[in-house]
Structure 1
Amino acid sequence: MNTSKYVSHVAKFDGQNYSLWKLGLWVLLEQHDLIDIVTGGYTIPGIMEDAERDAQLAIIV
C-alpha cells in the first residue's frame, strides 16, 4: 500500500513544529477512524486484564 498519499499533508516533525505536526497527525487518524486506538477508547477484543483472566482460569482448574 502506498501510504505517501495519506500522510503528504502531515508536516514532517522537525523539533520546532509540534503543534502543526500534531494537528496533521490527528486529522489523519480521524480520517481513518483510528482516534480511539490512540486515546485508549478501543481495546483489542479477547485481551483481558490479568485479574479477570486469572479468575476465569481458576474456575476451569
Structure 2
Amino acid sequence: MEGRVNSSSDPSKIASDGHFVLLEDFVEAIHEDRDPLVTGEEAKKSVDLILAIYESSRSGREIQLA
C-alpha cells in the first residue's frame, strides 16, 4: 500500500463522471422546467452531513443531525 495514490490522499483522483451527469441533468431540468435528479433540498442533506463530520473531527464530539 505504501506509495499508492488514491482519492483519499489526492482529491484530484476523485472521478468526476457522476458530477458531470448531475450538472448536465440540472441544465436540462432548467430548460424543461422540471426538478433535477437531485434537488437543492436533497443536496443540502449531503452538505450538512459533511459539515457535521468535519465538526465532529474538529471537536471530538458526536454531532446530531436534524
Query: Is the pair's TM-score, using the shorter chain for normalization, greater than 0.5?
Result: no
TM-score for the superposition, normalised by structure 1: 0.31
Larger CA Rg, structure 1 vs 2: 1
